[in-house]
């Protein structure tokens, strides 16, 4: 296969939603269709012993939530699909924001009963900023929920995007009969006991009286009325506005019962974009360029607890990556080659000899060689931007609870902070270490992972802070004056940059007012 054909067949996308909308369940079912797994796991279940493939960390299995983005690749119908299953919980939003920089399109999962929730709205803003193409999957249609037309109006209003249904539910809850697949003009009938699509009937004219034989008189009349309304209100589906991020196709189904998922996948591989050009600081990089380039959007410590190594996730932006070939690490300015690059199936990984633009590969990192945002190229000086760390909103002192394990704690903190889910600051006044996160749950995850992965026990101590902001100024004297006056509240991040830890909104406002020549930044990218 030529480079062009390899890149054309790739589809790299993230699945995002509010917690509990069924994101991880949908991922499992997509993997099932791709033949990547043979038994779909469950996120929460007493009967099913197998947990979800993408929730492989111990804490994820216990809590029944995803706390880290996982990457899974498989082949389907001659397409190479890379899925990134992201955490829905807002405390892990930063991991999800970063993941969205590495994908070409997105599937948003919405619960039919709850509609659009806070986290979905927030994630959609990130997609809008980047004009990422979006498909919406309305999940749990086999339960009672909102009227589908009301839901479409809500999607348009809340997510600020035009929508076009490409499948339509025939009733819902106990009376759910299936969906009419508008995209492929067929009827998919649902049998509750079997939990699969038992019958798919080609049906290009729903005015055909035979429809009654399949779904009964009442539902047939309702479907015809609904279809007339859909065709009257919504324009015919066109891929151009979808690819421009202005129109979202909508599918209805039930991920748990494996219904409507194949229809979503069949349409997705046809219309979703293959890898797109990516902007670097220097120029626009086209995926079909011969020379390799890529950037690191995520680092995961301890994927294999036996080896204590980190894995850096690389999104390939252009060309072809080959094993044991020298590539340039731009930030360090040195050539490196990688003997065991890996492709992922959540935690399971296999060594790959080559990978193409659009693929996500893992590079083992034993000595902290990589940081989030690093660029690798065939030699050209390129810098990919847009992978920020946000200013944390919650802070705690981290203390060692076992003096015998100081080394393990040091190493654990160092590796977990490299993942970018939390940030470490060293207070210049008393030298104590402060961990800043976006959400409370992060502290529990850090404590749990330190104990179970590094054999180190930490203790948290409360500290009352409002915000951390990175400061810089052209005026050296003003900067020195500021640092002297705010000595108690000055810290450094792990890159050694100056950070001001404001203890209230008022204090921050006054500081900005009193020192006009100092710039205060609320993300680490400036």
**Spelled out in words, what is the top-level CATH class assigned to the domain 278-377?**
alpha beta
Are 93 and 100 in contact by the 8 Å Cβ rule? The answer is no
pLDDT at residue number 257: 82
319-342 in b/e form (b: 16+ CB < 10 A) is: bbbbeeeebbbbeeeeeeebeebb
Residue intervals of the chain classified under CATH 3.40.50.300 are 3-174+236-271, 278-377
Query: What is residue 164's predicted lDDT score, i.e. its pLDDT?
Result: 93
Question: Quick count: other Cβ atoms within 10 Å of Cβ 285?
Answer: 21
Residues 6 or more apart from 440 whose CB is under 8 A from it?
91, 394
- Parallel, antiparallel or unpaired: strands 10-17 and 105-111: parallel
Residue 422 neighbours by CB under 8 Å, 6+ apart = 392, 416, 435, 436, 437, 442, 446
Could you confirm whether domain 394-521 is CATH 3.30.70.3280?
Answer: yes
* Residues lower than pLDDT 50 in the chain: 36-51, 53-56, 60-61, 63-68, 88-89, 91-92, 194, 346-347, 526
172 vs 170: CA distance, rounded Å: 7
Query: What SS3 class is residue 271?
Result: helix
Residue with tokens 């945002």: 373
Every domain range in the chain assigned CATH 3.30.70.3280: 394-521
Q: What is the DSSP letter of 390?
A: B
Distance CA 91, CA 421 (A): 9
Measured distance CA(52)–CA(501) in Å, rounded: 40
Distance from C-alpha of 27 to C-alpha of 14, rounded to nearest angstrom = 10
Could you tell me how many residues make up the chain? Answer: 526
Asked if the 3-174+236-271 domain carries CATH number 3.40.50.300, the reply is yes
Q: Which of 166, 101, 136 is nearest to 17 (CA)?
A: 136
pLDDT for the residue 35: 62
CA 151, chain centre distance (Å): 24
The CA distance from 335 to 94, in Å, is 30
Burial of 277 (0-12, 13-18, 19+ CB in 10 A): middle
Distance set, CA 111 to CA 70, 118, 155, 170, 212 (Å): 22, 13, 11, 17, 29
DSSP assignment of 438-493 equals SSHHHHHHHHHHHHHHH---EEEEE----EEEEEE-S-HHHHHHHHHHTGGGEEE-
Burial of 157: CB neighbours in 10 Å, binned 0-12, 13-18, 19+: exposed
Neighbouring CB atoms inside 10 A of 479's CB total 17
Q: Do 449 and 302 touch, CB atoms closer than 8 A?
A: yes
Structure-token pair, residue 18: 């509010």
């Amino acid at each position: 296969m030529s480079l062009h054909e390899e890149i054309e067949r790739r589809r790299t996308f993230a699945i995002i939603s509010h917690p509990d909308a069924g994101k991880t369940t949908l991922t499992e079912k997509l993997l099932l269709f791709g033949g990547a797994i043979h038994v779909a796991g469950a996120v929460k279940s007493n009967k099913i012993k197998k947990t979800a493939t993408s929730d492989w960390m111990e804490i994820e299995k216990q809590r029944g939530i995803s706390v880290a983005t996982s990457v899974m690749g498989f082949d389907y119908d001659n397409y190479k699909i890379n899925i990134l299953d992201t955490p829905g919980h807002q405390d892990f939003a930063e991991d999800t924001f970063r993941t969205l920089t590495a994908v070409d399109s997105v599937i948003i999962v919405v619960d039919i009963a709850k509609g659009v929730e806070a986290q979905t709205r927030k994630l959609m803003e990130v997609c809008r900023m980047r004009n990422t193409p979006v498909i919406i999957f309305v999940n749990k249609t086999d339960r009672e929920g909102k009227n589908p037309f009301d839901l479409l109006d809500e999607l348009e209003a809340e997510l600020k995007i035009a929508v076009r249904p490409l499948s339509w539910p025939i009733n819902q809850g106990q009376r759910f009969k299936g969906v009419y697949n508008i995209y492929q003009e067929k009827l998919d009938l649902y049998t509750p006991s079997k939990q699969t699509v038992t019958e798919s009937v080609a049906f290009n004219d729903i005015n055909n009286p035979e429809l009654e034989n399949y779904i009964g008189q009442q539902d047939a009349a309702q479907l015809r009325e609904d279809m007339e309304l859909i065709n009257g209100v919504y324009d015919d589906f066109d891929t151009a506005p979808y690819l421009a991020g202005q129109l979202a196709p909508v599918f209805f189904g039930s991920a748990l019962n494996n219904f409507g998922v194949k229809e979503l996948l069949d349409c997705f591989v046809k219309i979703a974009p293959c890898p797109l050009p990516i902007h670097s600081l220097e120029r626009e990089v086209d995926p079909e360029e011969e020379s390799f380039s890529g950037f690191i959007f995520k680092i995961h410590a301890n994927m294999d607890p036996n080896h204590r190594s980190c894995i850096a996730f690389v999104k390939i932006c252009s060309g072809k990556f080959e094993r044991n070939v020298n590539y340039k690490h731009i930030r360090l300015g040195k050539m490196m080659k990688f003997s065991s690059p890996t492709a992922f199936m959540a935690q399971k990984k296999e060594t790959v000899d080559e990978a193409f633009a659009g693929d996500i590969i893992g590079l083992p990192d034993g000595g902290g060689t990589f940081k989030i945002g690093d660029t690798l190229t065939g030699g050209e000086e390129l810098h990919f931007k847009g992978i920020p760390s946000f200013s944390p909103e919650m802070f705690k002192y981290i203390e060692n609870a076992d003096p015998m394990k100081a080394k393990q704690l040091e190493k654990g903190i160092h590796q977990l902070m490299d993942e970018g889910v939390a940030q470490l600051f060293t207070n210049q006044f008393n030298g104590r270490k402060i961990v800043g996160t976006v959400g409370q749950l992060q502290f529990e995850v850090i404590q749990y992972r330190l104990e179970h992965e590094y054999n180190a026990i930490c203790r948290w101590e409360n500290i009352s802070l409002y915000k951390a902001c990175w400061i810089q100024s052209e005026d050296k004297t003003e900067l020195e004056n500021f640092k002297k006056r705010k000595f108690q509240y000055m810290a450094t991040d792990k890159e050694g940059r100056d950070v001001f830890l404001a203890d209230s909104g008022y204090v921050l406002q006054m500081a900005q007012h009193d020192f006009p020549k100092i710039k205060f930044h609320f993300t680490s990218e400036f």
